[in-house]
Amino acid sequence: MPFVAYWGAPIVDADDDATMSLALDELMPRGSLPGGLDQECAIGLVPMHGDGWVGRPGLQGHRRGGTSWAPRFKNAQVIPLGGGGIGCVVTVQDDVAELELALRVELCVSGALSIQATIRNVGLQRYSLDALTITLPMPRRATRLTTFHGRWCKEMRRDTSDWKVGAWTAENRRGRTSHEYPPLVFAQTDTASAVSGEVWALHTAWSGNHVTLAERLADGRRYIQMGELLHSGEICLEAGETYTTPRIVGAYSSMGDSGVAQVMQAEVRSMRDPLSSRPVTLNTWEAVYFNHEPDTLHQLAHVAADVGVERFVLDDGWFLGRRNDSAGLGDWYVDPVVYPHGLAPLIDTVKSRGMQFGLWLEPEMLNPDSDLYRAHPDWVLEHAGYPHVLGRHQLVLNLTIPEAYEYILRRIDALLTEHDISYLKWDMNRPHVAAANPRGTAATHAQTKVLYMLLDEIRFLHPGVEIESCSSGGGRIDHEILRRTERVWTSDTNDPILRQAIQHHTSLLVPPEMMGCHIGAPTAHTTNKTSTLTFRAITAMFGHLGIEWNLLHATPTELEELRAVVALHKELRHLLHSGQVIFTTMFADSDGEYLAHGVASTDLSRAVMAVSRLLDIKADAPPNLRIVGLDHRRQYKVSCLLGQPLGGDYVVSHHSGYDIEHNGLEILSMPPESAVLLMLESS
C-alpha cells in the first residue's frame, strides 16, 4: 500500500542524503515498539487493518457472511500520469479478497495535491462497501488542529485547538456540503498564523455526505482521513463494478492561511476557463420577497440600471401557485395569475436597459402542495412507508428516477429556450432525511452524482448560461460543485458584521470572483441590525458584487452613494477578481476587533486592502497594518478610496514594501462596525 513519505516545502537538493533523511524522518514507518507488532505499520493512503494498522481503516466492507473484511493488498503497479500531469496511478491487488484498488495521486499546476481511490470487485460475489477514504499522515510538528463549523447565516466558523491524543471527527449526513461541517481541516504548527508558519490543509471536493477524522495516536503519530460518508448498503459492488471516492484536495503552506488560500483559489481557477468580467447583480429576494407585482419589478429594474447594475435576477415567487414557501415547488411554469403576459415584458425591460436577466430555481425539491407531487407522490427521495419529514414545507425530488430527471431537465430546458435567460440561481433548501430509492436503499450518493449529471447536461444544452450554487446560503460550497457553477451564494445574511468572517474564511477555498457578496438594505433582513452604506459596500467589494435591497425605498442620497460604489467596484474588479488574496494578522492581533484582508495584482504593482473594525473591545489605537507579500524593493503610494475614520482623514503617503511588511501602515481610529478601503500603487 503506497503512503506519503513527504509533503511540505520543496527539498532543495533531492540528491543530498542528509537532507532527504531529515525531510522523510517524521512520516516514515519505524521499527517495532515495546508491546507492539514487529514492524510499525505505515500510514498508507488507504491504511488497512489487515496490515497491522490500528487506526480507522481506509477501506471497510465485506462479502456475504462477513468475509473479506480485512484485505491486504500487494503487487503494486505504478503508471505515470500522461498529458503532462505530475503524478501516477498506483494499482494494488488482493487475490484472496478479490479486490483491486487504484490510487490516483497528482501534484496539480496550482500547487494543490489531488488524491482519489477506486475500488473494483474482481470477484463473482457482491462486495458491500461501507467506507473508502483517503488518509494522509501529518508531521509531529503539526501540533494544532483547525476545523470549521457553522449554521444558517453563520457559515464557516473557525476553531483552532491543540491536537490532543485521541480522535476528532465530523460526519455530515445532510445530502449537501452543509453549513454545519464544511469539509475543510488544517493541521498546523503552533507558530502558524494568517501569514506565517506551516499549514497542511485538506478538503473533500464533494457536494453530498462526507466524513472527516483527525487522530493523534498514543505513539505521537498524526493523520487526517477524509472522504464520502456512505449509509448502510448504499454502495454494493457486483462483479466488475467500481466505486471512486471524491477528490481529496490538499494545500501545503509555509505562509499560514494566506498560502492555503492562494493554492486553493488557484486550483479552482485552473479547473475552468477564465470567467468573463463579473456583472454587478441585483437579486429581488429581499426587495419584494413573494410579492411579485410586475409594475414594481419594472420600476426596480429601471432604478437598478440607473445605479449601474448589469444583471437582474428574479428570485422565488414567479412560478405556479408560489405565493409563499408552502406550495408550488416542482411546478416550473410561469404563474399566469401573477404574470398574465408571461415573463417576456419584464425580460424586455431588463434587456432594454442593458442588463442580463436571471431566474431563481430549486429543481431538486417539491412541495406536497404542488401539481407535481399530486401527480407523482412516488417521486419523493425518502424511504417509502413512513410519514413525510418536511423541511420548510419541502420534500426532495428523487432525480435518480429517470422520469423525474427527464421532467426537470425538460422544464429547465424549456424555460431557457423560451426566454432570454443568462443566469440561474440554483437553490437547495432542505437536507436529505432517509433519502432512499424506490427499493428502499440509501440514495444520497446516487442523487449527488445525478445532480452533477443534470448540471452538466444543462450546461451542454445552454453553454452561455451561468449557474449559481445556493443552498440556504452557503450550504453547498466545495470544489466539485465549482466545476459546474460560476458563483456560490456565500450566506443568506447580508449583515456586514457576520459577512466579514464568513467571506474571510470562505476565501480559504473560493476565489473572490466566485463568491456572491451583496450590499443589503440599511437594516439587515436576518439580524435586524442597521449599518452604514459604506460599511456594507466595503464588505461586499471583495467578491462578485451584488445588491439585495429594494432600491425603490432608497433615498436620492443613498442612490447617489450606491452609484459611486458600483462605479468604484467596476474600476477595481479586474484586480479584485484576478489577483491573489492577502491575509493579515490584524484579526488575531486585535482579539477579533479588527479584520483586514485584500487582493494584490499578480505583478505586485497594486493592492486593495479593506480594514474593518467589527467590535468595540479596547480603547487602544488599532494595530498597524502589516502586509506580507508586497515587493520589498518598490515604493507604494497609499491612499484611501472609501471610508471615513474618526477625527481625521487619510492623506496620500509613500512606503516601501519592506516597511509595510515589517513596520506596517498606521490605521486611524474608526468607530465600531465601520471600514476603510485602501489602495496601494507602486510608483
Q: Which helix (H) or strand (E) is 264 found in, with range?
A: helix 256-270
CA atoms within 13 A on the CB side of 373: 20
Decide: 390 and 365 in contact? Cβ < 8 Å.
Answer: no
Q: Is 298 exposed, middle or buried (0-12, 13-18, 19+ CB in 10 A)?
A: middle
Exposed, middle or buried: residue 532 (CB in 10 Å: 0-12, 13-18, 19+)?
Answer: middle
CA-CA distance, 393 to 366, in Å (whole number)? 9
Helix/strand/coil for 254: coil
- Angle between helix axes 533-541 and 556-576 (nearest 10 degrees) is 20
Run of H or E residues at 608 = strand 606-613
Which amino acid type is present at position 674? S
For 129, list phi and psi in degrees, rounded to 5: -95, 125
Which residue(s) pair with 663 in the sheet?
A: none
Rounded-to-10 torsion of CA 494, 499, 503, 506: -90
Give how far Cα 410 sits from Cα of 232, 241, 253, 338, 394, Å: 33, 31, 46, 23, 22
Neighbours of 634 (CB within 10 A): 17
Residue 95 CA to residue 117 CA, distance in Å, equals 18
| Residue 106 host element (H or E) | strand 99-107
Q: Which residues contact 463 (CB under 8 A, 6 or more apart)?
A: none
Q: What SS3 string covers 561-597?
A: HHHHHHHHHHHHHHHHCCCEEEECCHHHHCCCCEEEE
Residue 416's identity, in one-letter code, is L
Kindly state the greatest CA–CA separation across the chain: 81
Q: How far apart are CA 355 and CA 282, in angstroms?
A: 10
How deeply is 33 buried, as exposed, middle or buried, from its count of CB atoms within 10 A (0-12, 13-18, 19+)?
exposed
Other CB atoms within a 10 A radius of the CB of residue 38 amount to 8
| SS3 (DSSP) at 461 | helix
Q: Does residue 143 sit in helix, strand or coil?
A: coil
Question: What is the secondary structure of 631-678 as a DSSP string?
Answer: -TTSEEEEEEEE---TT-----EEEEHHHHHHT-BPPPP--SSEEEEE
Question: What is the pairing mode between strands 466-469 and 487-489?
Answer: parallel
Strand order in the sheet with 166-172: 134-138, 222-228, 210-216, 166-172
Strands in 108-256 per DSSP E: 113-121, 127-132, 134-138, 144-151, 154-162, 166-172, 184-188, 199-205, 210-216, 222-228, 235-237, 242-244, 247-253
* Single-letter amino acid code for the residue at 392: R
Residues marked as catalytic: 427, 492
Cα gap 478→508, rounded to integer Å: 11
From CA 261, how far away is CA 264, in angstroms rounded?
A: 5
